[in-house]
């Protein structure tokens, strides 16, 4: 499973989302748009202009939406019948 989290340095919502992912022991790749501005191009490719942006196996979820994130993870962990 691939989980990418796009963030910036001064984003309170990003920090809360990181804590949420750590608390639930969800591994993710962090892409800091403040340190690497080229990541903004990737955010825009998903159709968004802001962070946090969580991408789970290609599905983009903008903002702090824990229920939606958990649901997307559970869908990917359930084998197709």
Residues of the chain with pLDDT under 70: 76-81
Rounded Cα distance between 57 and 66, Å, is 16
Number of domains in the chain: 1
CATH of the domain at 33: 3.40.30.10
- Phi-psi bin for 26: left (phi > 0), alpha (psi -120 to 50), beta? beta
For 63, the domain range is 3-77
């Amino acid at each position: 499973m691939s989980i990418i989290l796009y963030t910036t340095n001064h984003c309170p919502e990003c920090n809360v989302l990181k804590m949420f992912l750590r608390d639930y022991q969800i591994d993710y790749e962090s892409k800091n748009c403040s340190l690497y501005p080229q990541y903004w191009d990737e955010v825009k490719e998903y159709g968004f202009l802001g962070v946090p942006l969580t991408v789970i196996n290609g599905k983009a979820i903008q903002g702090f939406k824990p229920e939606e994130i958990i649901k997307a993870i559970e869908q990917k962990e359930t084998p197709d019948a």
